[in-house]
């Protein structure tokens, strides 16, 4: 059986350098993450002949990876922020992060938001950083009565808002994304195709179940009018012995309920995790893609998984992927398994 051939394309400042890099490539890795972490690129090149120039920080690298028989998948653009020359033998290693993740997004500022929708907030912040906003319809019209951005960067502030509404906020290729976790759609609104991975496709795996935060429900407080200065809502079970209490008091009942729901969803997803290394990398894997597993234990196969993080690694040894997965439902409950169906079944 013919061994598949990994391929890639690398451009620097718009110039295709693939043919020059190919004989010098030591390793190439791309980390794609959900949330506030920037996607990162690490590229190590052989400079044993001393003929390579050291790249400049701030230059933009664009990378595509894939297989010769299926073609390339664009993984976006990255801005070089670290360069290292080491030896012997001499090598040059550059690190870069999502090109749109500007330094200005990390600058702290003071601002108060009153009666704004999430869509309006995201669009205003995106516009301030010359980004295109992509906000899910389910979140765009949600009104936040009041929230303070106190000595907090736009990146940190949006991350906090995203956490309150169980959403993922990230900057990818000139787009500021704000989507519910597990939403199942791309930034353009297209449905994400579920991917099935089998045991024979991988080298190593680690399935882990924990009950560190096995809460039946979550309580959140909100400001109330009238005599009662503060009220609360509980999402999930009413068993007071397993209720998680959020420390913040929210402006409205709706915002308190949203925060409690988000926290309950988050604790349920974190109950079970799966790390899996694919012997043959999949460039079509990235955070939020739904995954189904086959050929493991029933407890593993019967879960619906989400990609939380993926590392693509390409070197002389080939092209592999390391996946971090989390469940989309509570793994301590069997209520979703009886209705479980894999794609096409």
Partner residues linked to 84 by β-bridges: 93
For β-strands 202-209 and 217-223, DSSP reports them as unpaired
Considering the chain, what percentage of its residues have pLDDT values greater than 90?
39
What does the pLDDT read at residue 186? 60
Question: Residue 282's pLDDT band (boundaries 50, 70, 90)?
Answer: very high
pLDDT value, residue 228:
65
The per-residue pLDDT for range 162-178, each reduced to its tens digit, is: 988 988 888 877 788 88
pLDDT at position 345, please? Answer: 41
* Residue with the larger pLDDT of the pair 171 and 319: 319
Which residue spans within 108-241 are E strands per DSSP? 108-117, 132-135, 143-153, 167-172, 175-180, 195-198, 202-209, 217-223, 230-236
For residue 337, pLDDT beyond 90: no
State the pTM of this model: 0.79
pLDDT cut 70: percent of the chain above it:
87
CA of residue 252 relative to chain centroid, distance: 29
Gyration radius of the chain's alpha carbons: 23
As a whole number of angstroms, the distance between CA 257 and CA 133 comes to: 26
CB 234 within 8 A of CB 294: no
Q: Model confidence over 247-260: pLDDT tens digits?
A: 888 888 888 988 88
Q: What is the pLDDT of residue 325?
A: 92
Q: Write down the pLDDT at residue 333.
A: 39
pLDDT value at residue 339 = 38
What pLDDT is stored for residue 330 in this prediction? 41
Which residues neighbour 188 within 8 Å (Cβ) at sequence distance 6 or greater?
A: 134
Q: What is the mean pLDDT of the chain?
A: 84
**Lowest pLDDT segment from 172-176, 270-274, 337-341:** 337-341
Predicted pLDDT at 274 = 92
pLDDT reading at 58 higher than 60: yes
Q: From CA 183, how far away is CA 162, in angstroms rounded? A: 13
Residue 241 pLDDT greater than 90, yes or no: no
Please give the C-alpha separations between residue 12 and each of 53, 58, 96, 203, in angstroms, as whole numbers: 13, 11, 12, 33
Tokens of 250: 């929210």
Looking at residue 295, what DSSP letter applies? S
Calculate the alpha carbon distances from 138 to 189, 226, 281 in Å: 12, 31, 33
């Amino acid at each position: 059986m013919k061994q598949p051939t990994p391929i890639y394309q690398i451009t620097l400042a718009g110039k295709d350098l693939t043919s020059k890099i190919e004989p010098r490539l030591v390793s190439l890795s791309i980390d794609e993450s959900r949330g506030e972490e920037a996607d990162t690129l690490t590229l190590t090149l052989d400079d044993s002949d001393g003929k390579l120039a050291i790249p400049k920080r701030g230059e933009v690298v664009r990378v595509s990876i894939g297989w010769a028989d299926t073609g390339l998948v664009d993984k976006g653009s990255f801005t070089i922020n670290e360069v290292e020359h080491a030896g012997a033998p001499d090598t040059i290693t550059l690190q870069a992060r999502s090109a749109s993740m500007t330094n200005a997004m990390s600058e702290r500022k003071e601002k108060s938001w009153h009666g704004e929708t999430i869509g309006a907030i995201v669009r205003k912040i995106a516009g301030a950083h010359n980004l295109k906003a992509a906000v899910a319809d389910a979140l765009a019209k949600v009104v936040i009565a009041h929230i303070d951005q106190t000595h907090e960067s736009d990146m940190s502030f949006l991350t906090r808002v995203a956490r309150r509404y169980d959403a993922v906020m990230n900057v990818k290729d000139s787009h500021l994304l704000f989507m519910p976790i597990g939403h199942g759609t791309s930034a353009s609104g297209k449905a994400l195709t579920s991917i099935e991975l089998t045991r024979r496709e991988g080298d190593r795996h680690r399935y882990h179940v924990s009950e560190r935060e096995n809460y039946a429900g979550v309580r959140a407080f909100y400001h109330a009018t009238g005599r009662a200065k503060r009220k609360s809502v509980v999402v999930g079970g009413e068993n007071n012995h397993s209720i998680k209490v959020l420390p913040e008091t929210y402006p409205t009942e709706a915002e308190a309920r949203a925060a409690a729901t988000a926290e309950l969803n988050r604790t349920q997803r974190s109950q079970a995790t799966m790390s899996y290394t694919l012997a043959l990398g999949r460039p079509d894997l990235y955070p939020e893609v739904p995954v189904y597993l086959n050929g493991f234990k029933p407890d593993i196969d019967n879960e619906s998984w989400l990609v939380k993080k993926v590392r693509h690694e390409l070197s002389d040894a080939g092209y592999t992927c390391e996946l971090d997965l989390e469940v989309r439902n509570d793994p301590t409950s069997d209520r979703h398994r009886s209705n479980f169906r894999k794609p096409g079944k």
